[in-house]
């Protein structure tokens, strides 16, 4: 169905793809894995027409393909669901899906027909999407489904999915995989870019491994295993489990009592009470859209608290601003790194000082100290392996995983007393996941209190010392993640 031969693509001095070759057979699910910055997404964006290769050849369905832009790709029958959503937030689901492929005539857009077709497609795939809903009112997980619908609505024969399960619960992942298998049985061809080796082994027929912009391996998935794939991806042995000593919690750092946070459609958080102690990780498990985002953002000072109280080391901070909380020792790794974590058009150096740009020695008498900033960003780049490590390039030029490492490095540099962390490894490769997990454990063992939200149930159960389950804005239980099965936690998350 698709063949890439000797593809090369560079951006200035940065070579993203070098001699990339792979073959995707018709009617199969083909996984592409590799570290952040390995060139996976770049290669597939070339297939979708976002970039043109500097050299190399593309064949689609047995014929040479000159793909200059996404219109060419769509016309051939290629669809792509991107890691970072391509949605207009103040438009409806249907308006986003038909954008560029509008139904009706030149005299007017037939949205009623589009709504009917999209609803039928959503029902067929069990995606539970209302075509008339406005994008900004949807959770991240539902927006992911809209992206999937958008590609399928255009009748794609080859569907490229870039990190499609990053925002899904285990049950939603299982549902998605059922959909993908059903599509495969109907003759569709699927390419899935993922960092999750268990997903590669569960869903794909064949796998391509990339490292440093090159293809380093192709093979049949059933003939390999997670350890071998991890070694090919990183170029060394990788620990595939979280290793941590017993926690030694001390005094209470964060105390939340009867907290109420209003959302767009009523109470996002409804009477929540819990605490986090120094030297422990408290995890929050829940399906996306059940109040996790609002909870973390309120505790970080980014949205208002309607009722209840929050204390930090015995001090009432219920109405504290984000800057005040940061001054007290609260760090925040946000769920959405683009909206909350980075200034994408600013360079790495400027992003490395966000939140502390007014403090000495970074700033003196209102003037930024370039040498201090240079030293700070260089240390973050080195300690957290941000690639490529050019501090003068814009944050938008980094892969999603390297953007995440830049944010994590910046917040860890604050030496926080309390770390609020949401989706710490979303879109991050296997080697970087191991690295970030070690850093979180080290921060905990250094005496920090950590409140962790993750859509990855295996991640939150592996890292957390105590686990709270959140459903419809309420804590429905606290469990010991060492002794409670993921199936039980999943049922608590869904009300089963």
Query: What is the residue extent of each domain of the chain?
Result: 2-234, 253-494
Q: What is the Cα–Cα distance from 140 to 129, expressed in whole angstroms?
A: 13
Query: pLDDT-derived band of residue 427, with 50, 70 and 90 as boundaries?
Result: low
Class of domain 253-494: alpha beta
Banded pLDDT at 12 (limits 50, 70, 90): confident
Q: Which fold has domain 2-234?
A: Rossmann fold (3.40.50)
2-234 and 253-494 agree in CATH topology: yes
The model's pTM: 0.71
Q: Kindly state the helix (H) or strand (E) to which residue 405 belongs, with its residue range.
A: helix 400-412
Average pLDDT over residues 369-391: 92
User: What is the spatial distance between Cα 460 and Cα 239, in angstroms, rounded to a whole number?
Assistant: 17
pLDDT above 80 (res 146): yes
**C-alpha to C-alpha distance for 50 and 453, rounded to whole angstroms:** 33
Environment class of residue 341 by beta-carbon count within 10 Å: exposed (0-12), middle (13-18) or buried (19+)? Answer: buried
Q: Tens digit of pLDDT for each residue in 450-475?
A: 999 987 788 899 999 999 999 999 99
pLDDT one-digit tens code per residue, 294-306: 999 999 999 999 9
pLDDT, tens digit, 9 for 90 and up, residues 409-426: 999 999 999 999 998 987
Residue pLDDT, tens place only, 434-447: 888 989 999 999 99
CA distance 367 to 211: 41
| Range name among 160-164, 173-177, 250-254, 487-491 with the lowest pLDDT average | 173-177
Residue 414: name the closest of 352, 457, 463 by CA. 352
pLDDT digits (tens, 9 = 90+) for 237-272: 776 678 899 999 999 999 999 999 998 778 999 999
Side by side, which strands form the sheet with 14-24?
Answer: 14-24, 2-11, 55-60, 63-64
């Amino acid at each position: 169905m698709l063949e890439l031969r000797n593809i090369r693509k560079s951006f200035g001095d940065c070579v993203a793809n070098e001699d990339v070759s792979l073959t995707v057979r018709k009617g199969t699910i083909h996984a592409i894995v590799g570290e952040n910055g390995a060139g996976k997404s770049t290669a597939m964006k070339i297939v979708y027409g976002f970039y043109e290769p500097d050299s190399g050849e593309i064949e689609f369905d047995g014929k040479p393909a000159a793909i200059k832009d996404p219109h060419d790709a769509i016309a051939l029958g290629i669809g792509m669901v991107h890691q970072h959503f391509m949605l207009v937030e103040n438009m409806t689901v249907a308006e986003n899906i038909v954008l560029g492929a509008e139904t009706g005539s030149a005299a007017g857009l037939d949205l009623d027909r589009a709504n009917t077709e999209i609803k039928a497609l959503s029902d067929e795939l069990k995606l539970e999407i209302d075509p008339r809903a406005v994008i900004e009112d949807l959770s991240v997980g539902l927006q992911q489904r809209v992206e999937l619908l958008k590609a399928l609505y255009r009748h794609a024969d080859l569907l490229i999915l870039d990190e499609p399960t990053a925002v899904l619960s285990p049950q939603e992942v299982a549902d998605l995989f059922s959909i993908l298998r059903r599509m495969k049985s109907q003759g569709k061809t699927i390419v899935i870019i993922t960092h999750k080796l268990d997903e590669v082994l569960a869903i794909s027929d064949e796998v391509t491994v990339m490292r440093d912009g090159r293809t380093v391996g192709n093979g049949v998935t059933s003939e390999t295993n997670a350890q071998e794939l991890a070694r090919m991806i990183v170029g060394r042995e990788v620990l595939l489990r979280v290793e941590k000593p017993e926690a030694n919690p001390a005094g209470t750092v964060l105390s939340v009592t009867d907290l109420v946070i209003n959302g767009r459609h009523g109470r996002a958080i409804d009477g929540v009470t819990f605490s986090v102690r120094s030297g422990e990780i408290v995890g929050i498990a829940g399906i996306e859209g059940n109040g996790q985002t609002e909870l973390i953002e309120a505790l970080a000072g980014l949205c208002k608290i309607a009722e209840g109280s929050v204390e930090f080391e015995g001090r009432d901070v219920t109405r504290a601003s984000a800057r005040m909380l940061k001054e007290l020792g609260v760090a925040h790794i946000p769920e959405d790194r683009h909206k909350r974590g980075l200034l994408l058009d600013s360079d790495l150096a400027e992003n490395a000082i966000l939140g502390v740009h007014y403090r000495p020695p970074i700033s003196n008498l209102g003037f930024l100290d370039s040498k201090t900033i240079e030293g700070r960003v260089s240390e973050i780049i080195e300690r957290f392996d941000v690639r490529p490590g050019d501090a003068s390039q814009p944050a938008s030029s980094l892969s999603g995983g390297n953007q995440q490492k830049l944010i994590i490095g910046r917040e860890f540099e604050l030496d926080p007393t309390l770390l609020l962390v949401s989706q710490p490894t979303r879109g991050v490769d296997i080697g970087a996941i191991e690295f970030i997990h070690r850093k979180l454990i080290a921060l905990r063992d250094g005496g920090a209190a950590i409140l962790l939200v993750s859509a990855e149930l295996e991640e939150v159960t592996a890292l957390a010392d105590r686990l709270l389950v959140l459903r419809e804005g309420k804590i429905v239980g606290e469990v010991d993640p060492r002794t409670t099965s993921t199936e039980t936690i999943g049922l608590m998350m869904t009300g089963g």
